[in-house]
């Protein structure tokens, strides 16, 4: 047993994806761009950043961008079937603002999926849907 060597453990190369530090923008594929644009601008009062085309509209949400796009702009995906939510978005506000947002949604005729509720995991939540049926959440840490 003079020169026994312990094999070196093989190390996985560092993934280049470890460089990801934030979500820069989120794209919501839409069926009805007119209804969705009106909802995100008039109901949610998001600030329009730019309109690259009638098929791609960007809004500022804090340091992030939320884009509305028709499928096919970046990929040849089929439109989302009616009655199918393709995503859930959660927008963070203060606890008092959860209730104010609920009041504003009701005033605007938006049906609440779930009214403001204190959750056992420490959030106050409010759920509703956009015109395409996506689930939207307004929440606060409590």
Please indicate, yes or no, whether the overall pTM of this predicted structure exceeds 0.85: no
24-71 and 86-142, same CATH topology: yes
Closest by CA to 141, choosing from 120, 126, 124, 127, is 124
* Residue with more model confidence, 35 or 21: 35
Phi/psi of residue 71, each to 5°?
A: -55, 145
Q: What is the CATH number of domain 24-71?
A: 3.10.180.10
The pLDDT value recorded for residue 14 is 86
Quick one: CATH architecture of 86-142? Roll (3.10)
Whether the per-residue pLDDT at 96 is higher than 70: the answer is: yes
Confidence of residue 55 (pLDDT cuts 50, 70, 90): very high
The mean per-residue pLDDT over the stretch 64-81 comes to 80
Q: Where are the beta strands (DSSP E) in the chain?
A: 25-29, 47-53, 56-61, 64-69, 88-92, 112-118, 123-129, 135-141
Could you state, in order of their start, the residue ranges of all structural domains in the chain?
24-71, 86-142
The pLDDT value recorded for residue 43 is 96
């Amino acid at each position: 047993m003079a020169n026994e060597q312990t094999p070196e453990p093989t190390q996985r190369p560092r993934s280049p994806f470890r460089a990801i530090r934030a979500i820069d923008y989120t794209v919501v594929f839409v069926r009805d761009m007119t209804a969705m644009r009106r909802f995100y601008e008039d109901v949610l009062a998001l600030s329009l950043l730019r309109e690259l085309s009638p098929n791609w509209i960007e809004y500022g949400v804090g340091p992030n961008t939320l884009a509305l796009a028709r499928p096919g702009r970046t990929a040849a995906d089929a439109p989302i079937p009616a009655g199918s939510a393709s995503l859930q978005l959660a927008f963070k506000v203060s606890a008092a603002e959860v209730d104010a947002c609920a009041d504003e949604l009701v005033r605007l005729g938006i049906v609440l999926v779930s009214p403001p509720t204190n959750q056992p995991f420490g959030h106050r939540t409010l759920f509703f849907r956009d015109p395409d049926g996506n689930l939207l959440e307004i929440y606060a840490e409590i």
